[in-house]
A and B are shown apart, each in its own frame.
Chain A
Amino acid sequence: AQSVTQLDSQVPVFEEAPVELRCNYSSSVSVYLFWYVQYPNQGLQLLLKYLSGSTLVESINGFEAEFNKSQTSFHLRKPSVHISDTAEYFCAVSPVPGGYNKLIFGAGTRLAVHP
């Protein structure tokens, strides 16, 4: 079985500051890794994913995450946040080859960006 731990339930940060949202997972098999973002009153949107290849993955809006197999982590980072990044962020894993069939989510981290 797999599990996901998002170490921070809330992360307050000032605009233009860097941020890291932490995600650790537990699994006895290989996994795919995902980060989703949920803006108020909207559905979860895929931010980025790691399926294979380069362990550093990037999103179109400046976020990046690095898969660290030895530390079983997939932390999400952004060097400079904007007010518009305020949202709930969910880390998820799926056992290979489950893909989107067997997503296992963390409890979420609420990122609050202040001016």
Chain B
Amino acid sequence: GAVVSQHPSRVICKSGTSVKIECRSLDFQATTMFWYRQFPKQSLMLMATSNEGSKATYEQGVEKDKFLINHASLTLSTLTVTSAHPEDSSFYICSARADGTVNTEAFFGQGTRLTVV
């Protein structure tokens, strides 16, 4: 399968600071990328969908000004958690899909564990 890489795998930041998480498709061009969040003992929840060169579409209840998503190239999407607070501590996972239909498989990164102290 195709490879999607997230960086960093773990990050600790101070409350009030911003942190950026990168999601890269290493061997294919990702026209669509998805960002998920998983709280302990809970399901992965879709936060937003981004298409290269377009603004991200956020799911209901996700603050777009807090979770900034940039998908400026076909191999890179970034999620920036702005003014992070302890309640933003979570596991963030991206997935990426090449051009095609909605049934084109999306491949997942290994996730980023964010801890806000």
Contact = CB atoms under 8 A, between A and B. Distances in A.
Interface of A: 4, 9, 36, 41-46, 51, 90, 97-108
Given A90-B44, A99-B102, A41 B110 contact: yes
Contacts of A9: 41
B41 A107 contact: yes
B54 interface: no
27 contacts: A43-B6, A43-B93, A43-B110, A43-B111, A44-B93, A44-B108, A45-B1, A46-B105, A51-B103, A90-B44, A97-B103, A98-B102, A100-B95, A100-B97, A100-B102, A100-B103, A100-B104, A100-B105, A100-B106, A101-B32, A101-B49, A103-B46, A104-B43, A105-B36, A105-B43, A106-B43, A107-B42
Contact of A43 (B43, B49, B105, B109): B109
Nearest to A98: B102
Interface of B: 1, 4, 6, 9, 32, 34, 36, 41-46, 49, 93, 95, 97, 101-111
Contacts of B111: 43
Nearest to A36: B108
A90 B44 CA distance: 9
Given A43-B108, A103-B46, 14 more contacts: A43-B6, A43-B109, A43-B110, A43-B111, A46-B1, A97-B102, A97-B103, A98-B102, A99-B101, A100-B34, A100-B95, A104-B43, A105-B36, A107-B42
Given A41-B9, A42-B110, A43-B111, A99 B103 contact: yes
